[in-house]
Structure 1
Protein backbone atom coordinates (compact mmCIF):
# COMPACT_ATOMS: atom_id res chain seq x y z
CA UNK A 1 0.00 0.00 0.00
CA UNK A 2 2.79 2.42 0.89
CA UNK A 3 4.47 1.65 -2.42
CA UNK A 4 1.29 2.60 -4.34
CA UNK A 5 1.00 5.87 -2.43
CA UNK A 6 4.56 6.70 -3.48
CA UNK A 7 3.84 5.85 -7.12
CA UNK A 8 0.60 7.87 -7.14
CA UNK A 9 2.34 10.81 -5.44
CA UNK A 10 5.11 10.73 -8.03
CA UNK A 11 2.64 10.68 -10.91
CA UNK A 12 0.63 13.55 -9.42
CA UNK A 13 3.75 15.66 -8.84
CA UNK A 14 4.92 15.03 -12.41
CA UNK A 15 1.52 16.01 -13.77
CA UNK A 16 1.51 19.22 -11.73
CA UNK A 17 5.00 20.14 -12.90
CA UNK A 18 4.14 19.50 -16.54
CA UNK A 19 0.90 21.46 -16.39
CA UNK A 20 2.36 24.46 -14.57
CA UNK A 21 3.71 27.64 -16.07
CA UNK A 22 7.01 27.38 -17.84
CA UNK A 23 9.73 29.95 -17.46
CA UNK A 24 9.52 32.28 -20.47
CA UNK A 25 12.55 31.99 -22.69
CA UNK A 26 13.66 28.90 -20.81
CA UNK A 27 13.07 25.31 -21.66
CA UNK A 28 9.45 24.85 -22.70
CA UNK A 29 7.40 21.75 -23.23
CA UNK A 30 6.88 20.66 -26.81
CA UNK A 31 3.11 20.52 -26.45
CA UNK A 32 2.97 24.24 -25.59
CA UNK A 33 4.75 25.51 -28.64
CA UNK A 34 4.92 22.88 -31.36
CA UNK A 35 2.18 23.60 -33.88
CA UNK A 36 2.20 20.02 -35.13
CA UNK A 37 1.47 18.41 -31.75
CA UNK A 38 -2.06 19.20 -30.60
CA UNK A 39 -2.16 22.65 -32.12
CA UNK A 40 -2.21 24.39 -35.48
CA UNK A 41 -1.82 27.79 -37.08
CA UNK A 42 -4.82 30.13 -37.12
CA UNK A 43 -5.07 30.77 -40.86
CA UNK A 44 -7.19 33.91 -40.33
CA UNK A 45 -4.88 35.62 -37.83
CA UNK A 46 -2.02 37.77 -39.01
CA UNK A 47 -0.06 40.77 -37.81
CA UNK A 48 -3.13 43.03 -37.19
CA UNK A 49 -4.83 40.43 -34.97
CA UNK A 50 -1.63 39.65 -33.09
CA UNK A 51 -0.83 43.33 -32.52
CA UNK A 52 -4.38 43.90 -31.24
CA UNK A 53 -4.09 41.00 -28.78
CA UNK A 54 -0.72 42.23 -27.51
CA UNK A 55 -1.86 45.88 -27.52
CA UNK A 56 1.24 46.79 -29.55
CA UNK A 57 1.17 49.71 -31.96
CA UNK A 58 3.29 48.70 -34.93
CA UNK A 59 5.31 51.82 -35.86
CA UNK A 60 4.30 53.64 -39.05
CA UNK A 61 7.82 53.19 -40.48
CA UNK A 62 7.78 49.41 -39.91
CA UNK A 63 8.59 47.11 -42.80
CA UNK A 64 8.52 43.33 -43.16
CA UNK A 65 5.57 43.11 -40.73
CA UNK A 66 4.65 39.48 -39.99
CA UNK A 67 2.35 37.88 -37.46
CA UNK A 68 0.84 34.50 -36.66
CA UNK A 69 -1.02 32.62 -33.94
CA UNK A 70 -0.23 29.03 -33.02
CA UNK A 71 -3.48 27.74 -31.55
CA UNK A 72 -2.87 25.28 -28.75
CA UNK A 73 -5.24 23.57 -26.29
CA UNK A 74 -3.17 24.82 -23.35
CA UNK A 75 -2.36 28.38 -24.48
CA UNK A 76 -2.06 30.13 -27.83
CA UNK A 77 1.26 31.64 -28.90
CA UNK A 78 1.09 35.05 -30.58
CA UNK A 79 4.06 36.09 -32.74
CA UNK A 80 4.75 39.50 -34.22
CA UNK A 81 7.85 40.73 -36.00
CA UNK A 82 8.85 43.79 -38.00
CA UNK A 83 11.79 46.03 -38.84
CA UNK A 84 11.72 49.57 -37.48
CA UNK A 85 14.02 52.31 -36.24
CA UNK A 86 16.13 51.63 -33.17
CA UNK A 87 14.35 54.49 -31.39
CA UNK A 88 10.90 53.01 -32.10
CA UNK A 89 12.08 49.60 -30.89
CA UNK A 90 13.34 51.15 -27.64
CA UNK A 91 10.02 52.94 -27.17
CA UNK A 92 8.06 49.70 -27.70
CA UNK A 93 10.23 47.89 -25.16
CA UNK A 94 9.53 50.67 -22.66
CA UNK A 95 5.80 50.36 -23.33
CA UNK A 96 5.89 46.85 -21.86
CA UNK A 97 6.41 48.49 -18.44
CA UNK A 98 8.93 45.87 -17.37
CA UNK A 99 10.76 46.63 -14.13
CA UNK A 100 13.97 45.76 -16.01
CA UNK A 101 15.28 47.58 -19.09
CA UNK A 102 15.98 46.06 -22.49
CA UNK A 103 19.25 44.20 -22.00
CA UNK A 104 21.58 41.84 -23.83
CA UNK A 105 19.83 38.53 -24.32
CA UNK A 106 20.52 36.21 -21.43
CA UNK A 107 17.70 33.83 -22.15
CA UNK A 108 18.47 30.17 -22.68
CA UNK A 109 18.25 29.03 -26.30
CA UNK A 110 14.75 28.17 -27.41
CA UNK A 111 13.83 24.54 -27.93
CA UNK A 112 13.48 23.24 -31.46
CA UNK A 113 9.70 23.53 -31.03
CA UNK A 114 10.05 27.20 -30.05
CA UNK A 115 12.32 27.79 -33.02
CA UNK A 116 9.64 26.29 -35.28
CA UNK A 117 7.35 29.17 -34.29
CA UNK A 118 9.65 31.84 -35.71
CA UNK A 119 10.58 29.71 -38.70
CA UNK A 120 6.87 29.56 -39.57
CA UNK A 121 7.21 33.30 -40.26
CA UNK A 122 10.36 32.71 -42.31
CA UNK A 123 12.59 34.20 -39.61
CA UNK A 124 15.73 33.11 -37.85
CA UNK A 125 14.82 32.65 -34.18
CA UNK A 126 16.02 35.66 -32.18
CA UNK A 127 18.10 33.63 -29.74
CA UNK A 128 20.20 32.48 -32.70
CA UNK A 129 21.24 36.05 -33.62
CA UNK A 130 24.06 38.25 -32.32
CA UNK A 131 23.46 41.76 -31.03
CA UNK A 132 20.06 40.82 -29.67
CA UNK A 133 18.55 42.43 -26.59
CA UNK A 134 15.63 41.06 -24.60
CA UNK A 135 12.92 42.21 -22.23
CA UNK A 136 10.03 40.23 -20.81
CA UNK A 137 7.16 40.93 -18.48
CA UNK A 138 4.12 39.29 -16.93
CA UNK A 139 1.46 41.98 -17.53
CA UNK A 140 -0.84 40.81 -14.71
CA UNK A 141 2.17 41.04 -12.34
CA UNK A 142 2.87 44.73 -13.03
CA UNK A 143 0.62 47.76 -13.19
CA UNK A 144 -2.07 46.97 -15.73
CA UNK A 145 -1.73 48.65 -19.08
CA UNK A 146 -4.58 47.06 -20.98
CA UNK A 147 -2.96 43.65 -21.41
CA UNK A 148 -5.17 41.71 -19.01
CA UNK A 149 -5.55 38.71 -21.36
CA UNK A 150 -1.78 38.40 -21.88
CA UNK A 151 -0.01 36.12 -19.39
CA UNK A 152 3.54 36.73 -20.65
CA UNK A 153 5.01 38.98 -23.30
CA UNK A 154 8.61 39.20 -24.38
CA UNK A 155 10.45 41.24 -26.93
CA UNK A 156 13.74 40.67 -28.67
CA UNK A 157 15.39 43.54 -30.53
CA UNK A 158 18.04 42.61 -33.08
CA UNK A 159 20.22 45.43 -34.42
CA UNK A 160 20.39 45.14 -38.20
CA UNK A 161 22.55 48.21 -38.80
CA UNK A 162 21.98 51.70 -40.16
CA UNK A 163 19.71 52.55 -37.20
CA UNK A 164 17.22 49.75 -37.98
CA UNK A 165 16.26 46.80 -35.82
CA UNK A 166 14.11 43.73 -36.20
CA UNK A 167 11.63 43.44 -33.37
CA UNK A 168 10.36 40.00 -32.32
CA UNK A 169 7.43 39.93 -29.89
CA UNK A 170 5.92 36.76 -28.47
CA UNK A 171 3.02 36.49 -26.07
CA UNK A 172 0.71 33.93 -24.59
Structure 2
Protein backbone atom coordinates (compact mmCIF):
# COMPACT_ATOMS: atom_id res chain seq x y z
CA UNK A 1 0.00 0.00 0.00
CA UNK A 2 2.81 2.41 0.84
CA UNK A 3 4.63 1.59 -2.43
CA UNK A 4 1.45 2.26 -4.40
CA UNK A 5 0.95 5.64 -2.66
CA UNK A 6 4.58 6.54 -3.36
CA UNK A 7 4.09 5.77 -7.08
CA UNK A 8 0.91 7.84 -7.21
CA UNK A 9 2.69 10.81 -5.64
CA UNK A 10 5.76 10.35 -7.85
CA UNK A 11 3.86 10.91 -11.11
CA UNK A 12 2.77 14.51 -10.31
CA UNK A 13 6.22 15.26 -8.87
CA UNK A 14 7.95 14.15 -12.07
CA UNK A 15 5.46 16.10 -14.19
CA UNK A 16 6.09 19.23 -12.12
CA UNK A 17 9.84 18.76 -12.46
CA UNK A 18 9.57 18.41 -16.24
CA UNK A 19 7.44 21.54 -16.54
CA UNK A 20 9.80 23.57 -14.36
CA UNK A 21 12.81 22.49 -16.43
CA UNK A 22 11.14 22.93 -19.80
CA UNK A 23 12.04 26.62 -20.19
CA UNK A 24 8.52 28.00 -19.92
CA UNK A 25 6.38 29.01 -17.02
CA UNK A 26 3.25 27.06 -16.16
CA UNK A 27 1.22 29.11 -18.62
CA UNK A 28 3.90 28.66 -21.27
CA UNK A 29 4.00 32.37 -22.04
CA UNK A 30 7.50 33.43 -21.03
CA UNK A 31 10.77 31.55 -21.42
CA UNK A 32 12.46 31.11 -18.07
CA UNK A 33 15.89 31.78 -19.57
CA UNK A 34 15.04 35.38 -20.55
CA UNK A 35 17.54 37.79 -19.11
CA UNK A 36 16.40 40.60 -16.86
CA UNK A 37 16.36 43.50 -16.92
CA UNK A 38 15.37 44.39 -20.46
CA UNK A 39 14.73 47.76 -22.08
CA UNK A 40 11.46 48.78 -23.70
CA UNK A 41 12.91 50.12 -26.94
CA UNK A 42 9.67 51.96 -27.78
CA UNK A 43 9.56 54.06 -24.57
CA UNK A 44 10.52 57.71 -24.82
CA UNK A 45 10.64 60.86 -22.67
CA UNK A 46 6.97 61.67 -23.33
CA UNK A 47 5.77 58.25 -22.12
CA UNK A 48 7.96 58.37 -19.03
CA UNK A 49 6.93 61.95 -18.27
CA UNK A 50 3.26 60.93 -18.45
CA UNK A 51 3.80 57.97 -16.12
CA UNK A 52 5.71 60.09 -13.58
CA UNK A 53 3.25 62.98 -13.84
CA UNK A 54 6.23 65.30 -14.31
CA UNK A 55 6.06 67.89 -17.06
CA UNK A 56 9.29 68.51 -18.91
CA UNK A 57 9.55 72.31 -18.64
CA UNK A 58 9.19 74.43 -21.76
CA UNK A 59 12.62 75.25 -23.10
CA UNK A 60 14.23 72.16 -21.54
CA UNK A 61 16.84 70.47 -23.69
CA UNK A 62 18.32 66.99 -23.93
CA UNK A 63 15.09 65.28 -22.81
CA UNK A 64 15.61 61.51 -22.65
CA UNK A 65 13.45 58.75 -21.24
CA UNK A 66 13.55 54.99 -20.91
CA UNK A 67 11.75 52.12 -19.25
CA UNK A 68 13.70 49.23 -17.79
CA UNK A 69 11.41 46.19 -17.81
CA UNK A 70 11.79 43.87 -14.84
CA UNK A 71 9.82 40.79 -13.73
CA UNK A 72 8.31 42.50 -10.68
CA UNK A 73 8.37 46.24 -11.33
CA UNK A 74 9.50 48.43 -14.17
CA UNK A 75 11.86 51.35 -13.61
CA UNK A 76 11.11 54.63 -15.40
CA UNK A 77 13.97 57.04 -16.16
CA UNK A 78 13.74 60.64 -17.29
CA UNK A 79 16.42 63.28 -17.71
CA UNK A 80 16.59 66.78 -19.16
CA UNK A 81 18.42 70.08 -18.79
CA UNK A 82 16.45 73.08 -17.56
CA UNK A 83 16.84 76.15 -15.37
CA UNK A 84 17.97 75.70 -11.78
CA UNK A 85 14.64 77.16 -10.63
CA UNK A 86 12.60 74.66 -12.70
CA UNK A 87 14.72 71.79 -11.38
CA UNK A 88 14.09 72.82 -7.78
CA UNK A 89 10.35 73.23 -8.48
CA UNK A 90 10.22 69.67 -9.83
CA UNK A 91 11.88 68.41 -6.65
CA UNK A 92 9.38 70.33 -4.50
CA UNK A 93 6.48 68.91 -6.53
CA UNK A 94 7.41 65.41 -5.33
CA UNK A 95 6.05 66.49 -1.92
CA UNK A 96 8.92 65.14 0.10
CA UNK A 97 9.16 66.27 3.71
CA UNK A 98 12.88 66.78 3.08
CA UNK A 99 14.48 69.36 0.77
CA UNK A 100 17.00 68.63 -1.96
CA UNK A 101 20.27 67.81 -0.26
CA UNK A 102 23.73 66.52 -1.01
CA UNK A 103 23.64 62.78 -0.94
CA UNK A 104 26.74 61.26 0.50
CA UNK A 105 26.46 57.59 -0.32
CA UNK A 106 29.26 55.09 -0.25
CA UNK A 107 27.24 52.61 -2.30
CA UNK A 108 27.73 51.89 -5.96
CA UNK A 109 24.97 52.93 -8.39
CA UNK A 110 21.98 50.57 -8.75
CA UNK A 111 23.29 49.10 -11.99
CA UNK A 112 23.69 50.95 -15.22
CA UNK A 113 20.37 52.64 -15.73
CA UNK A 114 21.05 56.17 -16.87
CA UNK A 115 24.01 54.81 -18.81
CA UNK A 116 21.37 53.41 -21.16
CA UNK A 117 20.55 57.05 -21.96
CA UNK A 118 24.22 57.92 -22.46
CA UNK A 119 24.43 59.70 -19.09
CA UNK A 120 26.50 59.09 -15.98
CA UNK A 121 24.68 57.49 -13.08
CA UNK A 122 23.45 60.37 -10.89
CA UNK A 123 24.87 58.77 -7.73
CA UNK A 124 28.32 59.25 -9.23
CA UNK A 125 27.91 62.92 -10.20
CA UNK A 126 29.81 65.12 -7.80
CA UNK A 127 27.64 67.74 -6.14
CA UNK A 128 24.33 66.31 -7.34
CA UNK A 129 21.55 66.97 -4.85
CA UNK A 130 18.88 64.36 -4.16
CA UNK A 131 15.43 63.85 -2.73
CA UNK A 132 13.17 60.83 -2.87
CA UNK A 133 9.65 60.04 -1.76
CA UNK A 134 7.03 57.30 -1.58
CA UNK A 135 4.04 58.95 -3.32
CA UNK A 136 1.34 56.84 -1.60
CA UNK A 137 2.98 57.59 1.78
CA UNK A 138 2.59 61.37 1.30
CA UNK A 139 -0.90 61.13 -0.22
CA UNK A 140 0.17 62.09 -3.76
CA UNK A 141 -2.81 60.64 -5.65
CA UNK A 142 -1.34 61.79 -9.00
CA UNK A 143 1.42 59.24 -8.57
CA UNK A 144 -0.53 56.43 -6.92
CA UNK A 145 0.87 53.84 -9.37
CA UNK A 146 4.41 54.43 -8.08
CA UNK A 147 6.08 53.02 -5.02
CA UNK A 148 9.02 55.42 -5.18
CA UNK A 149 10.19 58.45 -7.14
CA UNK A 150 13.46 60.30 -6.75
CA UNK A 151 15.20 63.22 -8.35
CA UNK A 152 18.83 64.21 -8.63
CA UNK A 153 19.68 67.78 -9.62
CA UNK A 154 23.13 68.43 -11.04
CA UNK A 155 24.03 72.10 -11.25
CA UNK A 156 25.73 72.85 -14.55
CA UNK A 157 26.61 76.45 -15.44
CA UNK A 158 24.78 79.65 -16.34
CA UNK A 159 21.73 78.81 -14.21
CA UNK A 160 21.24 75.42 -15.89
CA UNK A 161 20.77 72.06 -14.20
CA UNK A 162 20.43 68.48 -15.33
CA UNK A 163 17.47 66.69 -13.77
CA UNK A 164 17.55 62.92 -13.31
CA UNK A 165 14.25 61.30 -12.31
CA UNK A 166 13.75 57.64 -11.47
CA UNK A 167 10.50 55.96 -10.48
CA UNK A 168 9.14 52.49 -9.89
Report the TM-score, using the length of structure 1 for normalisation. 0.75
The whole-number CA distance in structure 1 between the counterparts of 2:67 and 2:46 is: 11
- CA offsets 1:41-98 (integer angstroms, 9 cap, x no match): 1111110010100000110011000000001111101000000000000100000000
Aligned to 2:84: 86
Decide which structure has the larger Cα Rg and report it.
2
The whole-number CA distance in structure 2 between the counterparts of 1:171 and 1:53 is: 9
Helix, strand or coil for the counterpart of 2:72?
coil
| CA pair 51-107 structure 1, distance change in 2 beyond 3 A | farther
Residue 127 (1) aligns with residue 107 (2) = no
Q: CA RMSD in A?
A: 1.4
- Equivalent position to 1:53, from 51, 56, 67: 51
Q: 1:97 touches 1:142 (CA, 8 Å); kept in 2? A: yes
- CA offsets 1:108-142 (integer angstroms, 9 cap, x no match): 4344xx34111100001111111210000000100
What stretches of structure 2 of length at least 5 have no aligned partner?
A: 1-33
Helix, strand or coil for the counterpart of 1:116?
coil
Report the TM-score, using the length of structure 2 for normalisation. 0.76
Aligned to 1:96: 94
5 Å-filtered alignment, 1:28-67, equals 37-67=35-65
Aligned to 1:160: 156
Q: 1:109 touches 1:128 (CA, 8 Å); kept in 2? A: no
| CA pair 152-76 structure 1, distance change in 2 beyond 3 A | same
Q: Which has the higher contact order (CA 8 A, sep 6+)?
A: 1
What stretches of structure 1 of length at least 5 have no aligned partner?
A: 1-35
